[in-house]
Amino acid sequence: MICMHTYTIEVNTVASSIYERDDEVPTTTAVAASRMSSQPLSRRTRTLKGDSQFGVRGLTNGSYRTASNDESSSFDGHDEEDSVEHDEATTDTARNGTDTKFLSCQLPPWLSDSTPDEFIEAVRKSDDPLHVKYLQTLVQCLCMLGKVAAAGAIICQKLRPTIHEIIISKIKAHVETTNLLKSACSQGDRSTAAGVHFIKGQSEAYRLSKEKPQNGISNSGTHLAVSPVSPLMAPGGKAQAAAKELLDSILDTIVKIFENHVVIGELLELKASQHDINTPKSLPTDVNWNTESEASQATGGYTISFPLTVLQSECQQLICEILRATPEAASADTAAQTAKLAKKAPKKDKRDAPEDGLTFTFRFTDATVSISNQGADLIRQGWGKRAPNASLEGYGSAAVLPEQGIYLAASIYRPVLQFTDKITSMLPKKHSQLVNDGLLTFTENFVKDHLLPTMFVDYRKGVQQAISSAAAFRPRAHTTTTYTPTVEKGRPILQGLLAIDLLAKEVLGWAQAMPKFATDLVKYVQTFLERTFERCRTSYMEAVLEKLSYMLIGRHDIEKLMRLDAASACLPSPLGHAISHSEAVGTEVELSELFLSLRPIKQDNLIRDDNKLILLASLSDSLEFVADSIERLGQAVPRAASQAEGNSRSQAASPRNLASFADEYRKLATDCLKVLRVEMQLETVFHLQEMTNREYLEDEDAEEPDDFVISLTSQITRRDEGMAPFISGEKRNYVFGGICGIAANASIKALADMRSINLFGVQQICRNTIALEQAMAAIPYIDGETVQHNLDRVRTYFELLNMPFEALLAFIAEHDQMFTPTEYSNLLKVNVPGRDTPADAQSRLLEILSH
């Protein structure tokens, strides 16, 4: 598909050649050639494939025509549209092979009016698409006229500026379309513009919520605070979608252009191998043709590798413009990186450098091909150069893209990958190696050597900023008193961890966009998660260091008992296994015994600052949130990478590594809850230990519970209200649910250390249990039956002190399993004023219990 406004076979020259060599040309073909040279080709055949907006730019979209000298400098791209559409439809039908009979009836003039010979008959009978037949005929004529070298030279000279103009025209068309959509949107037709920047397959892992949570802090606000890119440039953002859409459109056109060059290249190679190409009578005097092979000499240096190199070179320059890959944006060591990428010394690069001066990219320069095929002198003619104003003019991509920059490489990668696959499938097998160092290699090297290091540095800064600010691990002030399970509706995740979660999702969003580099990007995420975990661990230690609860959960015996505790079933990572009710009760009693054995407990052993306890609650929920998120990402990203790239290494390594980080986060979340539960149990022991070593000889029936009970119940209420917005009701039950059990055991055991207790003392203790029960009942999700059972047991136990000795023995005989022998014995040891206890009371009790 030769672009005849640039690749011109001039009428006079061709015609004169025919008459000069009339004795050499067979009559049948000469007639056909004469028709081709004496009149322009029918416009019905000018566009056989490609976009009609490119008009008659032949080799760039599938049409040919002859032109005079005055036509060669003009840009003719707007011929009759009806004939364009007709011939495009004809070409599509021919290409699909669905209506060859129709084509045979609609042969173009250059076949139907030709005098038959062997070549014409072969073309007529061929099943090739119409545009291929045209190319075959054109090459045959050029070969017979001895004009192949001149045509090849013109192609080499004009190809780059033509491609440059085509890319610019595509971008301008994009701008016009965008402006029309904006105009339609401003007039109320928003449905048309809604899908302009929609990107299919948007990462499930990355989703920036636009809702403003009830706590007043939006995800988008957090994103803007820590992300190195704007929402437009983020994975799935409008800038990414626009860049992909634009490049897809341009590369699709480039593929169509190259498809026709493949046909030309194969035909010329075939003719050269058959020695059917006549050597031209005159050649440019400044070209050293003696150094060239016969095939290169005959084709003017045009080979299939030349258009491939030029097309990819222009695409690379466009990509560099989109990425802002300019010397001003390059780092100080770009020269060394260039040498590494191109595997050339920097000095040699200067000879082949394109005129726009890009110094750090892997460049495609058709000059290299020209040197090997035609000699260094051809470069002086400008055949391997861009249009004079190309480097200054650029492509104007900024007019259609909302943003430009290095991060757009993520959207460019997949179109380039698909483009390379198409090009490779079109090339003959013997030329398949030509794409090895092509546009895909440049893109991959750019991602590997520039984008990935930039990402690591930028996101590492974002992570550091997210976890080092004063507010990063400060529970946010909350207006609600209930826990909300979703972030969008106000779940108060710590700001630092919410930011880390967004950054991790964003980086893994890049991994989904560039599956080949998913392993490296997952490693980045792991590095960030490790750094964040250490910061969380530091915050945790600041709250619990040197406190009794922290030391206890680290003890092997207590850790084992807590794992067997039935309450542990609600923890983020289930610590235990299914156990029976009796085992659960035994475990609770054993834990109580251990905690009560620690008396006396000092105030310094406890976490007295309620804010630290609230922090532990918030940290636990936030860690669990991130752990769940990591787990989902670990399953989604490597799977997407393996499906897209067959990257088994990512599939094998990443889920396990990310899952291990999720386990670490979840374990620390569990430790926070365990500390809170043990802390509340120790607080209960601390307050109730005042019952020991005292006389409960009250003078009258008091209306209020003991001061230490009031202090304990007010503390329970205050801490529950403080933690309520930060942990779920189920977790609140775990934190506060151990209070009643240990309070009951502590009260019953306190009797053994009491010297005396009277009727009013018994009533006071009962009043204490009622106050505690009321405080516990105010906590949602608390098991009210368990609370009532435990505290009823305390009241029953102390009320036995009011019974006469004989009545007590009768009760014990009927309820010997309600309390332990030691607890029954303590009922007889304490001094109860007014109760008559015989000397053999203990022996009679033992006799009853022994039966």
State pLDDT tens for residues 254-276: 999 998 888 888 877 777 766 55
What's the pLDDT score for residue 794? 96
Which residue, among 129, 137, 89, 88, has the nearest Cα to 111 in the 3D structure?
Answer: 137
pLDDT band at 18 (very low <50, low <70, confident <90, very high): very low
pLDDT tens string 354-385: 333 333 333 333 333 333 333 333 323 333 33
Is the pLDDT higher at 628 or at 47?
628
Residue 792 CA, chain-centre distance (Å), reads 57
Q: What is the mean pLDDT of residues 684-699?
A: 91
What sign does the dihedral 512-516-517-518 (CA atoms) show?
Answer: positive
Is the pLDDT higher at 420 or at 89?
420
Is the pLDDT higher at 280 or at 328?
280
Percent of the chain with pLDDT over 70: 66
What's the pLDDT score for residue 299? 78
Q: Which residue has the tokens 């035909």?
A: 267
Inter-residue contact 663 to 532 (CB < 8 Å): no
Inter-residue contact 193 to 180 (CB < 8 Å): no
pLDDT band at 619 (very low <50, low <70, confident <90, very high): very high
What's the pLDDT score for residue 7? 35
What's the pLDDT score for residue 64? 36
In three state form, how does the secondary structure of 654-713 look?
Answer: HHHHHHHHHHHHHHHHHHHHHHHHHHHHHHHHHHHHHHCCCEECCCCCCCCCCHHHHHHH
Q: What is the mean pLDDT of residues 134-150?
A: 81
Q: What is the mean pLDDT of residues 778-799?
A: 92
What's the pLDDT score for residue 607? 96
Mapping DSSP to helix (H, G, I), strand (E, B) and coil, where does residue 833 land?
A: coil
What sign does the dihedral 625-626-630-633 (CA atoms) show?
Answer: positive
What's the pLDDT score for residue 188? 54
pLDDT tens string 655-678: 457 888 999 999 999 999 999 999
Q: Average pLDDT, whole number, for the chain? A: 74
d(CA 532, CA 534): 5
Q: What is the mean pLDDT of residues 20-44?
A: 34
Is the pLDDT higher at 421 or at 366?
421
pLDDT at 86 over 60: no
d(CA 277, CA 269): 10
d(CA 758, CA 832): 6
pLDDT at 93 over 90: no
pLDDT tens string 739-762: 999 999 999 999 999 989 999 999
pLDDT tens string 61-82: 444 333 333 333 333 333 333 3
Q: What is the mean pLDDT of residues 649-656?
A: 46
User: Of the given ranges (94-98, 159-163, 737-741, 758-762), which has the lowest mean pLDDT?
Assistant: 94-98
Which residue, among 734, 495, 742, has the nearest Cα to 618 in the 3D structure?
Answer: 495
What's the pLDDT score for residue 295? 54
Q: For the whole prediction, is pTM greater than 0.85?
A: no
pLDDT band at 783 (very low <50, low <70, confident <90, very high): confident
pLDDT band at 95 (very low <50, low <70, confident <90, very high): very low
Pairing of strands 695-696, 756-757: parallel
